[in-house]
Amino acid sequence: MPILLAVLLLATAAHAAPAPESEWEPFPDGSTGQVTEFKGVDGLAIPAYVRKPAGPGPFPVIVLMHGGKYGKEATVGMGRVVKAPTEYFIKAGWVVYAADYRPAEKIAVVPIEFDDHRRGH
């Protein structure tokens, strides 16, 4: 079961220009998504996937993190999945931001992870 970190934001990327619609992957439910990344505290690029419901927004945002350790495939898969929990948030009008962890040998949530996500979102 994924670890959920609920973060309510006013917009998905208040300080960034939205990507052109052609860069968004369409889903049968009308939502769209794209592979992206954010920068950790030391500039490390950390994979993410953002998926938004149909419509102009603004939308609230939930940050989802898969279980286990670093894995871009798991992160992208969580954002693209058309079943729970992602589909429930999309149907409710939420943006899903599936975020990864920094690469590490052991599975552990250490203080730098919190710093990465506080800075990256």
Q: Where are the domains of the chain?
A: 3-12+23-120
Round to the nearest angstrom and report the end-to-end CA distance of the chain.
Answer: 23
* pTM for this predicted structure: 0.75
Whole-number pLDDT of residue 69: 86
Walk along the chain (121 residues) and give the pLDDT tens digit of each residue.
333 333 323 233 333 445 565 799 999 999 999 999 999 988 999 999 999 999 999 999 999 998 888 899 999 999 999 999 999 999 999 999 999 988 877 777 777 776 776 765 5
pLDDT of res. 91: 97
Nearest to 97 by CA among 73, 121, 116: 121
Cβ–Cβ < 8 Å for 24, 36: no
What DSSP string runs through 90-106? HHTT-EEEEE-----SS
Answer for the pair 91, 46: CB distance below 8 angstroms, yes or no: no
pLDDT value of position 19 = 58
User: What is the residue whose two structure tokens read 């943006």?
Assistant: 95
